[in-house]
Amino acid sequence: MLAVAQRQWVYIYDNEGIELHCLKALDSPLQLQFLPHHFLLACSNAKGYLSWLDVSIGEKVAGFQTHRGRLNMMVQNPGNAIIHLGHSRGSVTLWSPNVKEPLVEVLAHQTAVRSLCVDKTGRYMATSGADRKVKIWDLRKYRCLHEFKVPAGPGSMHFSSQGLLAAGVGNSVLVYKDTLVKPPTQAYMSHVALGPVRKVQFCPYEDILGVGSSLGFESLLIPGAGEPNFDSMEANPFQNKKQRQTMEVKQLLDKIPHHLITLEHESIKKVRPEDAVIEEKNRIPKKWLKMHYKPSKSSMESKRRWELRGKLAKEKKERTKKYEEAKKNPAPYDPLARFKFGG
């Protein structure tokens, strides 16, 4: 299915172009991001509102007002599913559906942020501003590694799976190599597009760069951009229709709840020491279990026997309670009580 951000709402279409849904909960959309491991559709709108919608059940799970104006720039971190937003005051904020405030706010540029992107490992981020600077950030320390100047502020950037950085600068497309290691002195490849570049994005597992401009679409061949060795158990670019359907069902069964989205993507595999200590303290000893609980039996006869024993024990307890109450508060003697009905 395909989600399209139109003027008023978000619409869902199938592969034949037939409209399936109209998501009125996501109004005035500007940017859309799909989180594949959580089945969440993140949407930023013109009113500064950020929303998350669970596409597997069709319900909105979270939505916050950022109070930072129009949200034109939004990307996701593929490592931890955190949403990165770029703002007109030069700051970049990181958002999670579990917290109403930004998790991290970084002053990236002295001018407005024009574009940003995150590499596939989720450890590095590239930002560009109106000051014609491109900065590479280490998301583990939130520190700028280095920066370099370009002819103009890139309106769109994207990392390839091999670390190449493509930037759309005016009518040109510039591709830089080894930007995560050192600031480049010159572009690896350059191309003049048909018109002003609106969007650039690498095709996964292929040496192809897609360029969308105001006058059309172009595909460029960039040697060394794609990942040559892929894991077919994770993503198979040569899968057929049956394999794709099986993969969709498996991904839905392995869906990660949205409340597990955190900055540290490795924390989902860890157990806090204090939780382990509490669990050990609350654990019931086996000796106590043997004394107070009988082992469960699978046959219907044993189940009925245990139910009957419990019922008899309850009745005996009630009779004992009534006898104790009668013993404490004896009734006055009536010599004709034995001749009365029910006496």
3-state secondary structure of 64: strand
What would the pLDDT profile of 185-213 be if each residue is shown by its tens digit? 899 999 999 889 999 999 988 899 999 99
Q: Could you give the 3-state DSSP secondary structure of residue 189?
A: strand
Question: In the chain, which residues have pLDDT < 70?
Answer: 265-303, 331-343
Phi-psi region at 235: left, alpha or beta (left = phi > 0; alpha = psi -120 to 50): beta
Residue 40 near residue 97, CB atoms below 8 Å: yes
DSSP annotation of 214: T
pLDDT score of 117: 94
Write down the pLDDT at residue 280.
57
Which of these, 145, 160, 1, lies nearest to 78 by C-alpha position? 160
Q: Which helix (H) or strand (E) holds 319?
A: helix 300-328
